[in-house]
Structure 1
């Protein structure tokens, strides 16, 4: 990303208010009880709802976003909930992620297909989990769609390819009433173990 990206996201968040009600990602909530507690990293956290929910449930959370404005609102929301999160304003294109450090990495509606997948895998501890969701190409045909660039969406099966080193536990690629998404829950296996697809389906 660039300074222009930061300014664009700051402008988007400038009219937002502190959360009166948390709205964490639904795919995360669906699987949250099965996830290992410990250190969590929320990438492109935005207004921080998923990060705050994880911290509220006992994770030690680091949340990264390019927008200082978004993080300012997220931090105030966390204070109102009495929650502590480490908020980091940084460009994920260049920010170094620690290796073998996190028990959980989450990423919602941010797509970097070039370098981020490898860095995410490296940042997970063996046994650590990835929860990922973003738009697919079908989003361009959803009524009310706000996306215009197909490069910002996933092709069929692309998410599985991006994280082929991980053991897939649940996966879906479907058109929901308000959006078209691919969603993944996957685990980092011990070094030398083959990746295994345990549950790959259209509905997850």
Structure 2
């Protein structure tokens, strides 16, 4: 079973392409014969993990792919690592703005994604979808949720999970502004590609996709 998640709009936006893409990818995967569900998460510290944990209990997935919006990025970002730190530059949708607080008190400094990121990157490149391996998921609700997911999955060793950031959707940016964006249809296919790769690949590829800064 496959669980995909996206977020509610935040920061004054009226849409969040991560949720549109997650719902679309679940539909695509179901049409291919997979058991897939999509769940919308609140953009709220704490609550996002609670809703995610409830979905994990309800569906018992084998693969979990959470998605969030990273406005300003030009590529679909396959997140490598979640850190145990909440440091909000802007309040969440409930007005919370934690600074230098742990996601899980006493938890490890970080968790790594258990998805085959390099193989997914190769598959996205083959599909001509702009993608990258990202070394930071930020310190906002996306990283918070990613860390919470991996903290839960440490007790579910048969379940693989991780996080993907998507750019703004084309309709969210002003034409000619220079702000990067992608069509939602491309983001939808990107999430489906990542899931298909996770289902097909057990050992990840050795492929250079690091960063110098």
Normalised by the length of structure 2, the TM-score is 0.32
Structure of higher RCO (CA pairs closer than 8 Å, 6+ residues apart): 2
Please, what TM-score do these two structures have when normalized by structure 1? 0.33
